[in-house]
Amino acid sequence: MNMRIFSIVMMCPFLIFAQAGTTDLSFSGDGKAIFCFDTNSIANNSILQNDGKIIITGLKEYNTSFACRVNSDGTIDSSFGNDGIVVIATNLTTEANSLCYSSALQNDGKIILVGNFTSFSGDHNLMVIRLNSNGSPDTNFGVNGKLNLELGSPYDFAYAVKIQTDGKILIGGSFGSVDGGFCLVRLLPTGQMDPSFGTNGMVVTIISPGNESAIKSLDLLSNGKIIALGNRVNNGIQNIVLAQYNEDGSLDSSFGINGKAETIIETGISDDARNIKALPNGNLLIQGIFNLYGAFSEGGNMLVQYTSNGNLDLNFGSNGVVINLGEYSGYGLATQVDGKIIVSGSAAGETIVARYLPNGSYDNTFNDDGKVITSIIDNHISFSSTVLISNDNKIVASGFTDSEDYSLGCVGLIKINLGTLTNEEFISQPLKLYPNPIKGDILNIANLEEAATYRVFNLMGQELAKGKIENNAVYVDSLKAGAYLIEITSGTATNTRHFIKE
């Protein structure tokens, strides 16, 4: 057993000396990786596994979907699927295409992909796919690993998915078109609709009668509530909408106005909400694009921060809003353990990764001006649509790049150093375990980023359990009553806490 289990503060804190904003040369030789398949492909989501491998999901030729897995060194993982890639085949008698928009990783290593099946008649149904950890279809889920959910409307879309601590699958999207609304569907781990959620497993929230609206991103709060981010369209103008739900799918009346909060950044301007993260202090950070349909010089990346009750956080940016006019369009969002904000996207045909301080201003210690702008291949178009913090505490941005000969659209990745981070910085984070003592089977961990792993030891130093911390919680159902130590690791830094199970 490592001695840090008994001594939380190490004698010599470990430092990463790589300059913040430089590419990680240990990743594919130059910090960049390119994967070209047989047809045009684009990544739209990335997931970090416990072992440091990255699962990338997205669209292939814009009518099918794929999942691939990349090793931590930037090479394709040939043990996954067919030489590293899985193509989601459609049923040619009923499905014209299958489009994956989001994905998530279960605690058992299985992978969930959500999106849409479109029939030859033009109807859109929810697509839910479950793959085993090796990329093969999970034949115990739906029909050969596939669910084609007809919700009762010809225009149903799924854009977001989260796995709850109990293993239930929460899907967000839209129900209907002009008269539709936010749609939440919750499935049991077996794939059946959860009858304890909403009406037979589904909740539809009409944001504004006669106006189209859709959920684009979800997050799960430490108290079990659900926060949904999306847009409402009125006369062609998109506005930002948040909705908060109780565990049973009912709207949380303590949030915003009757559970909903709508924000108009500027009258007559469309804002495209893309990502939401619940922060350790209870605030809600969203990322999107300001002036979606305007000239590029008149729009740009947008960050908006709310307090836990749905009001704008006036201590963030300018009255809760940060807009980088004319600089770039942001598509991916991640947060560091120290509260800094990472956004990835597109800047005039190149990939951009930007870092902000917790107050919304650029972090000038990151590549001098807070931004890294580069092409995956020199003089080729590229952009990033998804970003995460790796196990070795570095940024991995994934998206699209032209192939070397411009003949194909490929999946492109770039890995960037975060800069100096000490164990002391991580240890100083106000981690909180609750409930402690534990009377049930779930240990919740507050004030912790997603990219973290854990090991549980008894007081004799024997390791009893390990894994990735999902949704700020750890299952301890296998533990008997007694006292334990939990070692939490984020990047290179480790923190140890004591807990009791009754």
What's the pLDDT score for residue 329? 94
Give residue 15's pLDDT band: very low, low, confident or very high (50, 70, 90): very low
Name the phi and psi angles at 249, rounded to 5.
Answer: 95, -5
Residue 197, token pair as written in the block: 């959620």
Between 117 and 246, residue with greater pLDDT: 246
CB 498 within 8 A of CB 483: yes
Written as one letter, the residue type at 364 is N
Residue 16 and residue 419 in contact, taking contact as beta carbons nearer than 8 Å? yes
Q: What is the pLDDT of residues 147-179, one digit of tens each?
A: 988 887 878 889 999 999 999 999 999 887 666
CA 230 to chain centre: 15
Q: What mean pLDDT do residues 111-133 have?
A: 87
Answer yes or no: is pLDDT of 370 > 90: yes
- The pLDDT score that the predictor gives to residue 95 is 60
Looking at residue 2, its pLDDT comes to 47
User: Does the pLDDT of residue 426 top 60, yes or no?
Assistant: no
Distance CA 275, CA 57 (A): 17
CB–CB of 4/423 below 8 Å?
no
Closest CA to 160 of 90, 230, 251: 230
Please tell me the predicted confidence (pLDDT) of residue 5: 39
- Three-class secondary structure of residue 32 per DSSP: strand
Amino acid at 22: T
pLDDT digits (tens, 9 = 90+) for 265-294: 988 888 999 999 999 999 999 999 998 777
pLDDT: is 500 or 320 the higher one? 320
List pLDDT tens digits, range 445-483: 876 655 688 899 876 677 888 888 887 888 888 888 888
pLDDT interval class at 12 (50, 70, 90): very low
Phi, psi angles (nearest 5°) of residue 314: -70, -10
Q: Quick check: helix, strand or coil at residue 121?
A: coil
pLDDT given at position 425: 43
The set of residues, in sequence order, having a beta carbon less than 8 Å from that of 17 and lying 6+ positions away, is 420
Tokens of 372: 């890294």
Residue 421 reports pLDDT greater than 80 = no
- CB-based contact 258:216 (threshold 8 Å): no
- Round to whole Å and give the CA distance between 115 and 413: 23
Q: What percent of the chain has pLDDT over 90?
A: 60
β 97-105/111-118 pair status: antiparallel
Structure tokens at 109: 């290593």
pLDDT given at position 208: 82
**Average pLDDT of the residues of the chain:** 87
Over 80: is that where the pLDDT of 427 sits? no
CA distances from 341 to 108, 161, 311, 461 (A): 29, 22, 20, 36
Q: Please enumerate, as own/partner, the contacts of 232-235 that have beta carbons within 8 Å and a separation of 24 or more.
A: 232/207, 232/208, 232/262, 234/208
Cis peptide before 437 (omega within 30 of 0): yes
CA-CA distance, 470 to 450, in Å (whole number)? 7
Q: How far apart are CA 30 and CA 228, in angstroms?
A: 38
pLDDT of residue 214: 93
Indicate if the pLDDT at residue 60 is higher than 80. yes
Take residue 457 and report the two structure tokens written for it: 């030891």
pLDDT of residue 209: 81
Question: What pLDDT is recorded for position 295?
Answer: 62
Closest CA to 203 of 228, 238, 178: 228
More confident residue, 386 or 432: 386
CA nearest 338: which of 426, 446, 452? 426
pLDDT of residue 3: 42
65 bridge partner residues: 59, 88
CA distances from 400 to 56, 60, 377, 468 (A): 12, 11, 11, 28
Over range 387-401, report the average pLDDT: 93
**Residue among 96, 256, 122, 110 nearest 191 (CA):** 110
> Which range is least confidently modeled, 48-52, 99-103, 276-280, 460-464?
460-464
**pLDDT tier at 484 (50, 70, 90 boundaries)?**
confident
% of residues, the chain, pLDDT over 70? 88
Element (H, E) at 427: helix 423-427
Per the model's pLDDT, the better-predicted residue between 401 and 487 turns out to be: 401
End-to-end CA distance of the chain: 25
Mean pLDDT, range 248-269, rounded to an integer: 93
pLDDT of residue 437: 81
SS3 45: strand
Question: What whole-number distance in Å separates Cα of residue 367 and Cα of residue 344?
Answer: 14
Chain-centre distance of CA 108, in angstroms?
A: 18
Q: In which band, very low, low, confident or very high, does the pLDDT at 47 lie, cut at 50, 70 and 90?
A: very high
Residue 490 to residue 389: CA distance in whole angstroms: 9
User: Is residue 55 within 8 Å of residue 89, measured between CB atoms?
Assistant: no
**What is the average per-residue pLDDT within 354-366?**
95
Q: What share of the chain is helix, strand, coil (3-state, %, to 5)?
A: 0, 50, 50
Contact 293, 263 (CB under 8 A): no
Range scoring the smallest mean pLDDT among 115-119, 136-140, 314-318: 115-119
Which tokens go with 238? 């998109």
